[in-house]
Amino acid sequence: MFANYEKYFSFTAMKTLYLLRHAKSSWKNPELADFERPLNRRGKKDAPAMGKFLKFQKVQIDLIVCSPAKRTRKTAKKVAKEIFYPKQKILYKKEIYEANIADLFSVVQETPNEIHSLMLVGHNPSLNDFANLLLPENPIENIPTAGIVAISFAVNSWQEIEENTGKLLFFEYPKKLFPNTKQNQVLSSENYL
């Protein structure tokens, strides 16, 4: 059973950012360009499992912004399905693919202020570096594939977000949530509720 993080969402934050690293991708075809790499078998299971985790936590996402790489698109769609976010509303921004911290800051700060919860679906090392820039302490060594970092900000607009101003709500990933599953296989949906 998942830990319940609902108490953290009562924090007086006005904005919440979810950083989701794409699920495990396939290296089966070495001829494939990096941009076109699909999810592998584990990735296809982990992405919806993390969506179920978010649903269990009663997370509601106002906007999903995603790298256009195939593995991030597939991850975003699988998570979106679990949290009842319409996949046609996922925004794809090429700046997230091969992004640096400045690119991710720009994407966040360009977000309309009526959006209160934003999910960025992207890649390491930029997501990891971005999370550590936003959090004042306890740096995250590595966001594993399908890992999610949730950060809240006591601000009224996305433009007000600066370095070291975030509060870590949670940092979860499949191997942490499902440590006893063989080959990290996803539990049946009854185990999420």
Binding residues: 71
Tokens of 74: 């597939």
Measured distance CA(99)–CA(66) in Å, rounded: 12
Q: Which helix (H) or strand (E) holds 122?
A: strand 117-122
Question: Strand, coil or helix: what is 7?
Answer: helix
Residue 167 Cα distances to 10, 13, 124, 164, angstroms? 12, 9, 21, 9
189: left (phi over 0), alpha (psi -120 to 50) or beta: alpha
Q: Which residues are annotated as a binding site for substrate?
A: 71
Q: Do the beta carbons of residue 50 and residue 72 sit within 8 Å?
A: no
Query: Vertex 39, ends 35 and 42: CA angle to 5°?
Result: 150
Cα(25)–Cα(38) distance, rounded to whole angstroms?
A: 6
